[in-house]
Structure 1
Amino acid sequence: MIKEKLFSDHVSDEWLIHIKNDERVGVQKLLEQFEKRQLKKQELKKAFYEMMQYENKLKSQGVQLIAGIDEVGRGPIAGPVVAAAVILPEDFYLPGLTDSKKLSEQKRESFLDVITDQAIAVGLGIVSPTEIDLMNIHQASLEAMKRAVHELLIQPEHLLIDAMKLPDLNYPQTSIIKGDAKSISIAAASVVAKVTRDRMMKDIASDYPGYGFEKHMGYGTREHIEALKTLGSTPYHRKSFAPVNQFV
Structure 2
Amino acid sequence: MVAVILPTFALERDLTEMGFKRILGIDEVGMGSFAGPLTCGGVIYNREMSIKNVRDSKTLSEKQREEVYEKVSTLSSIEYATMHAPVEEIDSFGIRTALINAVERLIDCFSPPPDYILVDGKYLAPFKVQTQFVPKGDRYSMSIALASIVAKVTRDRLLREKHNHYPQYNFKSNKGYGSKEHQKALTAYGPTPFHRKSYAPIARLIQK
Structure 2 length-normalised TM? 0.91
Partner of 1:181: 139
8 Å CA contact 1:83–1:145 kept in 2: the answer is: yes
Partner of 2:175: 217
Relative to structure 1, is the Cα distance of residues 47 and 224 closer, same or farther in structure 2, using a 3 angstrom cutoff?
closer
Residue identity opposite 1:243 in structure 2: P
Relative to structure 1, is the Cα distance of residues 77 and 125 closer, same or farther in structure 2, using a 3 angstrom cutoff?
same
Residue identity opposite 2:26 in structure 1: I
Partner of 2:19: 62
Q: Deviations over 1:38-97 (max 9, x none)?
A: xxxxx99x945xx21101101111222110001101011111000011111213221431
Partner of 1:115: 72
Q: Is structure 2 residue 35 aligned with structure 1 residue 78?
A: yes
8 Å CA contact 1:123–1:150 kept in 2: the answer is: no
Task: Using the TM superposition, give the Cα deviation of residue 164 of structure 1 relative to its aligned residue in structure 2, in angstroms.
Answer: 4.1
Task: Using the TM superposition, give the Cα deviation of residue 184 of structure 1 relative to its aligned residue in structure 2, in angstroms.
Answer: 0.3
CA distance in 2, matches of 1:47, 1:144: 27
CA distance in 2, matches of 1:202, 1:75: 18
CA distance in 2, matches of 1:151, 1:171: 13
Task: Using the TM superposition, give the Cα deviation of residue 229 of structure 1 relative to its aligned residue in structure 2, in angstroms.
Answer: 0.9
CA-atom RMSD in angstroms = 1.9
Structure 1 unmatched ranges of 5 or more: 1-42
Moved more, 127-136 or 112-121: 112-121
8 Å CA contact 1:71–1:84 kept in 2: the answer is: yes
Residue identity opposite 2:24 in structure 1: A
Q: Percent identity?
A: 36
Partner of 1:238: 196
How many pairs are equivalent?
203
Structure 2 unmatched ranges of 5 or more: none
CA distance in 1, matches of 2:107, 2:15: 19
8 Å CA contact 2:54–2:145 kept in 1: the answer is: yes
CA distance in 2, matches of 1:113, 1:165: 31
CA distance in 1, matches of 2:115, 2:144: 15
SS in 2 for 1:169: coil
Residue identity opposite 2:64 in structure 1: K
SS in 1 for 2:40: strand
Partner of 2:118: 160
Residue identity opposite 1:215 in structure 2: S
CA distance in 1, matches of 2:6, 2:139: 10
| Structure with larger Rg | 1
Q: Is structure 2 residue 95 aligned with structure 1 residue 137?
A: yes
CA distance in 1, matches of 2:124, 2:43: 16
Aligned counterpart for 2:161 among listed residues 203, 209, 218: 203
